[in-house]
Structure 1
Amino acid sequence: MAETVQFDLVSPERLLASVAAREVQIPGAEGDMTALPDHAPLITTLRPGIIRVSAADGDKEYVVTGGFAEINGESISVLAERALPREDMTQEVFKAMVDEATDRLANAQEAYVNEPGPVDEATKLLADMVAVGGHIGLSAN
């Protein structure tokens, strides 16, 4: 069994990480998961949350708002809608992200009056964003 797996985290703006990781914790849409070297192949969507990467040079955390993860045993690739290193997540940045999720919910409620699916999705996105803030010590207010 290999001791590390190649981990790459990409957002629309840039490549945030490319390291040999011992393990990667991923906020999957169906639940959190930990990917190790030689993990079974898997593709999953992400929910807002924290990606934790354990590598030889230490642990690193990234805040993501959603996206996809592909695990194939030899590599883990995350294509994030939006991602920031945890240390770059300030109260102002977090507030802007929550405001964006709040706007999405308001737009969904207006556009889909009698269609719960899109409204439920927007509500879950907002709740997940607020939960991320609580986890890292930031307030949505």
Structure 2
Amino acid sequence: MSDKLHFSLVSPERELFAGEVDQVDAPGSEGQFGVLPGHAPFMATLKPGVVEVFEGEDRKRLFVRSGFADVTPQGLTILAEEAIDLEGFDASSSKDALEEAKEELRAANDDQAKARLTETISYLEALVAAAA
């Protein structure tokens, strides 16, 4: 058994991370989970939140909107709907978008628009909190 975990995080735009790490913590839709080398295989859906990658004393934080995590004997792969490297991320535009979405929700009058805006607000709140 290897003492490192192969981890890859991919979004539709690009691969944000690929490498050998010590541990990865991810925001599962059923709760936060961690993966270490030699972990038993499983699949999980992800909710908006921070994926933390631990490599020695270094820690990398990546925000995912949602997606899937697949743990196999070869490692962990996360396929994210959207992913952002939080290092150096400026949340000011996200804060503006959050306020706009809240205004739109107050003015919305059909259930489909309200549901879409509520999901957007949840995502943006999680992103702003993660970047703080």
**Global fold match (TM > 0.5):** yes
TM-score, normalization: structure 1? 0.74
Indicate the percent of aligned positions where both proteins have the same amino acid: 31
Alignment of 1:83-122 (within 5 A): 83-95=83-95, 98=98, 110-112=110-112, 119=115
Residues 19 and 55, structure 1, Cα contact 8 Å, conserved in 2: no
- CA offsets per residue over residues 2-45 of structure 1, 9 Å max, x none? 21111001111111100101100001111100011111111111
Change (3 A) 1:94 1:57: same
TM-score, normalization: structure 2? 0.79
Gaps of 5+ in 1: none
Which consecutive aligned stretches of 4+ in structure 1 deviate over 6 angstroms post-superposition? 103-106
Residues 48 and 66, structure 2, Cα contact 8 Å, conserved in 1: yes
When the two chains are superposed, the root-mean-square deviation of aligned CA atoms in Å is: 3.1
- CA offsets per residue over residues 46-104 of structure 1, 9 Å max, x none? 11100000124722110111111111133100111111111142123423664797699
1:133 aligned partner? 128
1:47 aligned partner? 47
Gaps of 5+ in 2: none
Distance in 1, Cα, partners of 2:69 & 2:17? 14
The number of residue pairs the alignment matches comes to: 131
